[in-house]
Amino acid sequence: MLGIENLRVVYHDVISVLNGISLTLNEKEILIIIGANGAGKTTLLRSVAGMIDFYDGSIVDGDIKMNGASIKGLDATDIMKRFGLTYVIEDRPVFWYLTIEENLGAASFSRWDKQVKADIEGIYSLFPVLEKLRHRKAGYASGGEQQMLAIGMALMTRPKILLLDEPSLGLAPLITEELFSTIEGLNQSGITIVLVEQNAHAALDIGTRGYVMETGRIVLDGSSRELLENEDVREFYLGSGKRERKSYKDAKRYKRRKRWL
Amino acid sequence: MVDFTQALGAGTLVGLVYALLGLSIVIIYRASEAFNFAIGEFLVIGSFLFYIFFFDLRIPLLVALPLGLLAAGLVGALVERFAIKPLLGRSPLSMTIITLGLGFFLRGCVQLIFGSHSYSFFLELPDITQEFGDLLFLSDPIWAGILSLSTFGLILFLLFRTRWGLAIRATSENQAKAMAFGIDARFILLIVWAISSACIAVAGIMISNFGALSSMSSIVGLRAIPVVLIGGMDSIVGALVGGIIVGVCESLAGAYIEPMGLVGFKEVAPYLLLLIVLLIRPYGLFGQIRIERV
């Protein structure tokens, strides 16, 4: 349903972050994007969500197509309304000074139907802990609670496609596991998910397909299973390659040689 | 004692108008972290727009007032679109500087259109002068207090009880997050400037009603600076309390210190008080304690 063709994005007119990315997103799948810091994962999501100009970046080449029609240059709110695409930005995008209930209300701002109240109750039954804290300011909630709230807020927009930017950031492994099973559940209820993660193992476990990004390019793609078994991915992202100890210098040279550039 | 109560009461009434000025600074500060130094010019323009509707076109007050405020809001929105929006995402400091320059530009426009002489400005509001024994509160300041307070209340209602208010508060906290959840942050900013501009116009009309209106009335707008700094730049309650403090301080200085020969001390007193408050509480009395997590 979503196709990205040879996308190039530049920040502040000089810093080239995406150097020709092409990928496709199929309906009802969980697409995993992994890559090191600075690979351009967040930039990719910002471009798709129509928020790149807000960060002073611009698309200089290529196209983003939704069901064959270009969505390049559309506003974030337009993209959300027309295609049900919601972008959950990095690092717990909740409003710290609003209560949890107000947060859910704010996230449903683009909707005018009568179902909002019922949907909020739905979120509470999905994440019962949020109901207990409903009148507390979100800034005082714990990291896990904030991330649940963020997903709850994203659901309030009634998304068809959900872009999640490192939801596991700063969460304990147990909470991460819980979060990922929630994401899996959302996918089973029919939401297409793009999951950008550093936590490659956990992500690939629930994913359908995956892409590996490095310095603004896609260097590898395949089904989750293929990626999990790929030797390079195992070594660089899963940390379970050959076990022999190397000196730092060796590792660096080796990595340079191994780069898919 | 009578003098004191009189000064206190009169100061509070004027203070409510200042509080409204403070509020209009606070909502812009919260939304875009910029200080609107053009507030004085907004005040004059708002008052003149009302002047045109009410005195020139002779539209009845109950129609002219909303029309004037609407026009003032429109001016605020236009200013936002042309001067502030292009700077979105840049440092708030550059927006603040822009408002300084904007102030000079608008002042020039006003002088060009209306000249720099005074216009007599008198709203024939029903006389509600109050006398309690030796105390006397004139009708105009009472009206000013009532209208400012009700505008203040209206804004509070808008911010805390409506969906648009929720969107404004969300956008004020973080524009990127708001946009990600489908709130059109740019449009919200436009609305905030329009509301702020309309509030300033209400205050401006009340202040002009005390005397006359001229392009020099813009000086009064600067009274908002001690108001918000004493109350706290980001606090709505702070604007209300700060406004009353500044009003009372001014009025007490006028009643007790000026007769000692210090003519003009009334104007300085709020700034003196401001210095003292800032020494004790650098974020103002009600400046928000930031929720910070590491």
Provide the mean pLDDT of chain B. 91
Please report which confidence band the pLDDT of residue A228 belongs to, taking 50, 70 and 90 as the band edges: confident
Quickly tell me which residue has 């800032």 as its tokens.
B278
By the 8 A CB rule, do A7 and A21 touch? yes
pLDDT of amino acid B91 = 83
B181 interfacial to chain A (CB closer than 8 Å): yes
Would you place residue B252 in the very low, low, confident or very high pLDDT band (cuts 50, 70, 90)? very high
Range B168-184 average pLDDT: 91
Using an 8 Å CB-CB cutoff, list chain B residues near A156. Answer: 181
The residue of chain A nearest to residue B187, with distances taken between CA atoms, is: A77
B293 falls in which pLDDT band (50, 70, 90)?
low
Using alpha carbons, select from B14, B17, B20 the residue that is nearest to residue B199.
B20
How far apart CA B233 and CA B235 sit, in angstroms, is 6
Query: With contacts defined as CB-CB under 8 Å, which chain A residues touch B181?
Result: 86, 93, 106-107, 109-110, 153-154, 156-157
Tokens of A110: 């683009």
Whether the predicted pLDDT of A138 surpasses 60 = yes
Q: Do A54 and B173 touch (CB under 8 A)?
A: no
3-state SS class at B60: coil
- pLDDT recorded at residue A88: 93
Give the pLDDT of residue A261: 46
A188-223 residue pLDDT tens: 999 999 999 988 888 999 999 999 998 888 988 899
pTM for this one? 0.88
User: What is the spatial distance between Cα B176 and Cα A57, in angstroms, rounded to a whole number?
Assistant: 14
Percent share of chain B, pLDDT over 90: 64
A115-126 residue pLDDT tens: 999 999 999 999
With a cut of 80, say whether residue B98 has pLDDT above it.
yes
Residue B234 near residue B242, CB atoms below 8 Å = no
Nearest to A105 among B166, B180, B293 (CB): B166
Give the whole-angstrom CA distance, residue B166 versus residue B151. Answer: 18
The whole-angstrom distance between B177's CA and the closest CA on chain A is: 6
Among the ranges given (A31-35, A72-76, B158-162), the one the predictor scored with the smallest mean pLDDT? A72-76
* Chain A with chain B: Cβ pairs closer than 8 A: 86
CB contact under 8 A, B170 and A56: no
Tell whether B175 is within 8 A of chain A (Cβ).
yes
- Pairwise CB contact (< 8 Å): B181 & A86: yes
Phi and psi, residue B275, nearest 5°: -55, -45
From CA A240, how far away is CA A167, in angstroms rounded? Answer: 23
* pLDDT greater than 80 at residue A238: no
Q: Give me the pLDDT at residue B292, please.
A: 57
Contact A87 B180 (CB under 8 A): yes
Among B181, B184, B291, whose Cβ lies nearest the Cβ of A106?
A: B181
Provide the pLDDT for residue A200: 86
pLDDT value at position A135?
A: 94
Residue A76 forms contact with B (CB below 8 Å): yes
Residue B167: predicted pLDDT: 95
- Partners of A87 on chain B (C-beta within 8 Å) are 180
The number of CA neighbours under 13 Å toward the Cβ of B256 is 16
For tokens 């105009």, what's the residue? B140
pLDDT digits (tens, 9 = 90+) for B127-154: 898 888 888 898 999 999 999 999 999 9
ipTM of the complex: 0.85
Mean pLDDT of B241-249: 95
Residue B144 near residue B206 (C-beta atoms within 8 A): yes
Flag whether pLDDT at A244 surpasses 70.
Answer: no
Interface test with B, best of A52, A80, A86, A95 (most B CBs within 10 A): A95
Of A98, A109, A140, the CB nearest to B182: A109
A105 Cα to chain B: minimum distance (Å): 8
Check if B158 contacts A (Cβ < 8 Å): no
